[in-house]
Structure formats: structure tokens, C-alpha cells
Chain A
Amino acid sequence: MAKVAPFPATHAEEPEILAPWSEEQRLLSAVRAGDRAAAEEMVERTYSAVYASLYRLCGDGDLAADLTQETYQKAWAALGGFDGRSQLFTWLYRIAYTTFLNHIRRPRRMTSLDEPDTPEIRDAGPAVDDVIAEREEGERLRAAVLQLPEDLRFTVTAHFWGGLAVKEIARIEDITTVAIRKRLHRAFSILEALLDEDEEAPK
């Protein structure tokens, strides 16, 4: 499998390592001041993570790319409203998540959640059966996540696919971290049940 662009965090509990806060603020101020170079730097720092999050949500590379581009278009328009209290990627992820939701609710051809794109697979690598099995399991998991209730879905995707820390999610959701952890616990329970049903369903 091709090497994935660096994801913000592999361990959900670890705080994501983005640009230091002061550096981020500097960047943001420069972008607001109309510094194009600062805006391009902001893109370079964040677009891989945004793409990865959207890919995990939609399962389609091209769609994820389109949604990523759309996300940044919305971000430039909404930059004035960003107060800088949350991290930059957190803000971008929310836009990306909303963009994804808007996309799947659009009355047009939607990428079927049941037919995700097949990720690029190299010939030299793990056994094809294992890869296919792993890919199918990933698809089932993605489908199960997308079936979660909205609040749980956002929490799970933001935490595991967006790399946002529990504290950060609690801040943007305006609830406590305990509530976030409860959400995650409930989400796991539901996911387990969904995945068990899927396994038991006749193939």
C-alpha cells in the first residue's frame, strides 16, 4: 500500500502535533492580512490531513479530493468568522465534515457507501486475500460509523479519522470531556452491534 501522507495522530489520545499555537496564530494573522504565501503555507500544512479525514468519511479518493478542495473554498470564505480559539485543523475538520454531510445530502449522484473506491494496491505486498479482507472490513467499519447517530458519528470520526483530541472535540461541541468519552463508549457499543449484525447477515 502506498505510504499515506502523515496523519495527525495514530493514537487518538495523543494531542495532535500541528504547528505550535503561536505559530498557528501567526499564520492565521498573516492569512487574514492577505498574505498569499501564508495561505499557501496553511494549505501545505493541513490539506493531507483534511483529505485523509474526508477519504475515511466518503471512501472515494476523487470525491475526497473534490471535497477537500470544496472545504478550502469554504474555509477562505469563513476565515473572518474564525476566532482562533480552537486549533486551525479542528476548524478545518468541521468544515470538511459539514462539506461531506452536505454532499451526501445533495439530490444528485452520490458516492455509494456500499461501493467505495479501491485504494491503490501494489503488487508486491501482503497477500491479496488479506488485503481484500482488510479492505472489506474497513468498508464495513466505515459504513457502520456512518450509520451512527449524528453526535456520535461526528465524535467518532473527529476523534479517529480527524485526529482531534477529546479536549478539542469537547470544546467545539461545548460539552465536557466526560460527555465525549461517554459518546465514544456508546458509539463503540453501537458499532460492535452493527458489525456483529453485518457478520451474521447472510452473505
Chain B
Amino acid sequence: MNSKKKADLQRKLTLAPVPRPPADLAERIKRDIPQHFTMSAESDRERIQRSLGLNMRVAASVLLVVSSAYLFMHLFERKSENVAVELPRARVATPAAKVAAPPANALRQEPSPLAALGYTSPAPAAPRPAMQMADGRVANEVEHPRVAAAERRLDEMRDREGAPGGVVGGVIGGVAGGVIRTEPPSAVAENDAAPAVPPPPAPVPAPEPPAAVADYATHVQESVTVTASAPVVEQRAAAMSASADAKGLRKASSSLVPEAQASDLELGPRGEVLGISVDPEAFERVKSAIERGEQPKGVNVEALVNYFAGRPQRTRRDVELQTEGSPAPVGAAERRAILRYTIDTATAALPPGASLPPVAADAQVHIAFESAAVASHRRIGDDQQDDTPQETLLKNESVTALYEIEMKPDVTPRQRVATVSLSYRSVADGQQRVITRTITGRDFTRPWHASSRRHRLASLGAVWGETLKDSGPAMDVALRAEELALQEPKDAKARELADVASASSRLRTSAPTGSGR
């Protein structure tokens, strides 16, 4: 076919005349438009089937994995139980909290068939203190039916043998289940059938529990209480040194509550808490200098604040946060105010020299001032940043920080002035906690003498301390302190402050001036 003919054919095909469609054709077609369009049921069905098939396959795989894991764990657990059950256990009837001398019949040192297998009682035959397991059970008494059955077999064996003894001392320790490294009872059963039993070794006299063991027991008790898993105790262990065990337990518990380790605890009150000086000797040094007629040098105002803020007689919670605000006690320029926060930890009755147990870990204070209410602020005694470092809080501790703030005009009573937050992790339960207190303008509308005793003492002590460092209204401070002492006649600290403030003011007024020489 030549190209001309082809082109002609194409032209005829494309240019074939076509009449206009009937006028009503469009309307007829539109009338046939259905109300609802049916989608392809087949394709939808196929799609659903495919997705369903996939989902079923995935679900089956997940089920298989979960059931396999469960079966494995179940088998592993049963195997562990079988191993524990097959071994003889100790029947130590001591109470959980006591470390007592072994009862007369608690440990039978007479030879037992088990001894023939090379199993001997532990050298410190004294009963170990029962270890409290995580679920509250006493580890010494394992309540497993198989264990009870094994016990009964042993008792029967002993009765048959005529030997009264045979209860082996030992402790199944640990939350995870003890693994006592002795021969399985199958050997016992075999020996039971043996015609001759080898002569048992000589009985080991029950020694007195050494002091080291008692200490160890104490450490064990404390450590087990705190930690989640106790160490495994071997039945064949010879006398263990208490210190070595304590170290081992500290290592075991270090990951959980490092603050509970004995070696990390401080023995006495600290000189600084959360970076704030609480030196109890600071006041005595100043007082001594004043009494000697000397101007005190190196006045630690922070420590004076804490000395006079003191500590409450009782606390209701492990950690308490107090906040308070008031106008400045003396010489207050317009809108000068004092803001205080105090942290008190729980009170613990401890013998003198005893270490202070921790109560809160990673404690930190954050204070935020509202710029709409506060023009400027400074921490009295220390111009460091407002947030404290993270530290551990111990029991029987109190720490107070004071801020002098310049209020903006027209602060309303309801207006927020500052927010103080104390975050810490409780040693008791490991929970993270945050205590937040908000100080509003209402605090600063009351006169200074309407504030709490603690606040008045702390703020006056601060002002007095600062007058010692530089020239200030020492007489006004003394007068204010005297007023405070009169208001609180039974308050020894108020009296003390009044006396020392008065003495220091006299010291300053009697100091020779340069012009007089």
C-alpha cells in the first residue's frame, strides 16, 4: 500500500460524517444516573481478603512467638524449681527480724545420710537471720509442696536410720530462687537403698555467732530491704568476713540506691546543703568575736540565716518546703522585701555520732521570679545563681535561703511574685517528686512582725549579719531584735539574737574613728 493510498484511507476514516446526537440524549443518559454507585464488589472483596490474609498471617506469627517464649520460660522455671526442690533445705525457725543464737534443736549436728554424700553443715552453724524476700516471705521457709515432700522423705530416712539429726543448715536466698549447690536427693534415695552407709563425720559443735556475722546480718537485712535482689548464699560457705560481704552487697545494691551504702553516708551534720551554707559554728565564731570586743571577720551570713531559722521540732513528711515573704525587717526602702524558702527533712531519732540516713536524692531547688512583680532580686549571703546544685538530702536537715527583692509598684495581692520548686527522688520509694510553692503579693502586704517566727528570726539574722559585714543600721537591727525577743519571751534564739545584735551595735559605736586619733 503506498503512502498516498494510506493517507487517503486515513482521511476517509477520520472525516467520516457524524450527525449531531439527539437533543434529548443527554437528558436520557442523566436520568439513568443511579442514586448510589456500586463499587466493584469483587475487587473490594479481593482487597479485603488479601489484607485479611496478611493480618491473619501476622497474628499467627505473633501468637507463635509469644507462645514459644511462654513455653520456654515455663519450662525453664520448672527446671529451676525441680533443681531447688530436689535439694534439701534448711528448716531454721528463727523469726525474720532477729539474729538469735540457734535453738537447741534447730540444727541437728548428728550425722546424716547426706553427710555421706559430702554435704556438711555450714561452718557458722548458727542460723542465719531470715532474709525478707521481695514478696514478704521469709526466705528460710520455702513453701513448695515438693520441698515439703523432700523434707518428709528425709525425715523418714533419718527415722529409719535411727539418727536424729540431719537437718542441714542453709538458706534459700534471693528473690530469684536460691540455687543450693548440693547433690540432688536422687543420690540420697540411692544411698537409702544401699546396704551400708558410710560413717558420718563427727558433728560440728555449734559455734557462737561471731560479732562479724551479726554485723553482716544487720547489713544483710538492711541491704535486702532496700535492694530488689539479695545475694545467693552458699550452704557450704565457710565463715565469711562481714566486711567482705558488706562490700559485695554494696556492689549488688549500688545500681539501685547508692545513697544507702554505708561508706557513702556522712557521719554528722554537713556544713552545706544544696550549696547553701548551714555551718553551725558560724554564729559561735561571730558571737565569740563580739564577746572579745572584736569586729567579727569573715561573717557567713548564709550560715547565720540558717542558724536563726533553725529546725522545727517535728516534721510531718520526709521532705517539706516552706515559703514566705514579708517586707524587710529594718531600714526597708520602699518596696524592699524578703522572700524565704526553707526545706526541712524528716526527723530521725539517732544516737550521737550516728550517720544521717538519706531521705531524698538528686534534690534541687529552682526559684523563678515574675518580672511583672519583681524589679530586682538577690540572694542574701551569696550572689550565686538561684538554682541550687543537685544533692542528696539527709534526715534531720533544714536549709533556708533568703532573697531580698525589690517589688514593682502596684503589685496586687493576688499577683504571683515568685515560684519555688523543689525536685527530688524519694529514697523510700524511688519516686520522683516535685514540690512547688507560689508566693503572691499578699505575703508582702502584711507587716514584718505578722510573719512567722521562723521568718522573722531568719530575716533579722540576715540583716544583722550584713550589718556586721558592712556599715548598716546596726542600732535599728538591735532594736528590732529586742522587739522580737519581747514578743517571743520564751524563744531562746530570739533572746540570743537580741543580745548579740545589741552587743555588736555597741561594738560599732564604741569603735574608735579615724578622726578621733
A residues lining the B interface (CB < 8 Å): 1-5, 7, 10-12, 31-32, 34, 36, 39-40, 43-44, 47-48, 51-52, 55-56, 61-62, 64-65, 68-69, 72-73, 76-81, 119-120, 134-135, 137-138, 141-142, 145, 156, 160-161, 185, 188-189, 191-192
| Complex Cα gap A4–B17 (Å) | 8
Contacts of B202 in A (CB 8 A): none
With contact pairs A76-B37, A81-B40 given, residues A10 and B15 touching in the complex (Cβ less than 8 Å): yes
Contacts of B26 in A (CB 8 A): 43-44, 47
Is B21 located at the chain interface by the 8 A CB criterion? yes
B25 and A138 contact, CB distance less than 8 A: no
Q: Which chain B residues numbered 21 to 38 have a C-beta less than 8 Å away from chain A? A: 21-22, 25-26, 28-30, 32-38
| Complex Cα gap A61–B24 (Å) | 13
What 7 pairs between A and B have smallest CB-CB spacing? A80-B39, A80-B40, A160-B13, A81-B40, A51-B21, A52-B18, A72-B29
B21 and A65 contact, CB distance less than 8 A: yes
Is B1 located at the chain interface by the 8 A CB criterion? yes
A141 and B37 contact, CB distance less than 8 A: no
| Complex Cα gap A12–B39 (Å) | 33
Q: Which residue of B lies closest to A139 (CB)?
A: B16
Q: Please indicate which of the listed interface residues B12, B15, B19, B25 has the most CB atoms of chain A within 10 Å of its own CB.
A: B19
B14 and A43 contact, CB distance less than 8 A: no
Q: Which residue of B lies closest to A156 (CB)?
A: B13
B37 and A138 contact, CB distance less than 8 A: no
B residues lining the A interface (CB < 8 Å): 1, 5-6, 9-10, 12-22, 25-26, 28-30, 32-44
| Complex Cα gap A81–B13 (Å) | 32
A69 and B20 contact, CB distance less than 8 A: no
A31 and B17 contact, CB distance less than 8 A: no
Cross-interface CB contact of B29 among A12, A47, A137, cutoff 8 Å: A47
Q: Which residue of B lies closest to A62 (CB)?
A: B22
7 further A-B pairs in the complex, CB-CB below 8 A; given A69-B28, A80-B38, A192-B9:
A3-B20, A12-B10, A31-B37, A39-B33, A72-B29, A73-B32, A120-B20
B39 to chain A, nearest CB (A): 3
Contacts of A81 in B (CB 8 A): 40, 42-43
B42 to chain A, nearest CB (A): 8
| Complex Cα gap A1–B5 (Å) | 26
| Complex Cα gap A45–B43 (Å) | 27
A60 to chain B, nearest CB (A): 10
Contacts of A61 in B (CB 8 A): 19, 21-22
A145 to chain B, nearest CB (A): 8
B39 and A47 contact, CB distance less than 8 A: no
B14 to chain A, nearest CB (A): 5
Contacts of B10 in A (CB 8 A): 12, 160, 188
A36 and B18 contact, CB distance less than 8 A: no
Contacts of A11 in B (CB 8 A): 14
B36 and A47 contact, CB distance less than 8 A: no
| Complex Cα gap A11–B36 (Å) | 38
Contacts of A141 in B (CB 8 A): 12-13, 16
Q: Which residue of A lies closest to B14 (CB)?
A: A160
Contacts of B36 in A (CB 8 A): 34
B47 to chain A, nearest CB (A): 11
A4 and B43 contact, CB distance less than 8 A: no
A10 and B32 contact, CB distance less than 8 A: no
Q: Which residue of B lies closest to A190 (CB)?
A: B1
Contacts of B33 in A (CB 8 A): 36, 39-40, 43, 76
B21 and A161 contact, CB distance less than 8 A: no
Cross-interface CB contact of A76 among B9, B21, B34, cutoff 8 Å: B34
Contacts of B12 in A (CB 8 A): 137-138, 141
B32 and A72 contact, CB distance less than 8 A: yes
Contacts of A65 in B (CB 8 A): 21-22, 25, 28
| Complex Cα gap A135–B26 (Å) | 27
A69 and B25 contact, CB distance less than 8 A: yes
Q: Which residue of A lies closest to B22 (CB)?
A: A65
A119 and B37 contact, CB distance less than 8 A: no
Contacts of A160 in B (CB 8 A): 10, 13-14
B350 to chain A, nearest CB (A): 78
| Complex Cα gap A40–B21 (Å) | 17
| Complex Cα gap A176–B30 (Å) | 36
A160 to chain B, nearest CB (A): 4
B37 and A80 contact, CB distance less than 8 A: yes
| Complex Cα gap A48–B9 (Å) | 24
Contacts of B43 in A (CB 8 A): 80-81
B17 and A192 contact, CB distance less than 8 A: no
Q: Which residue of B lies closest to A13 (CB)?
A: B10
With contact pairs A2-B19, A4-B19, A160-B14 given, residues A43 and B29 touching in the complex (Cβ less than 8 Å): yes
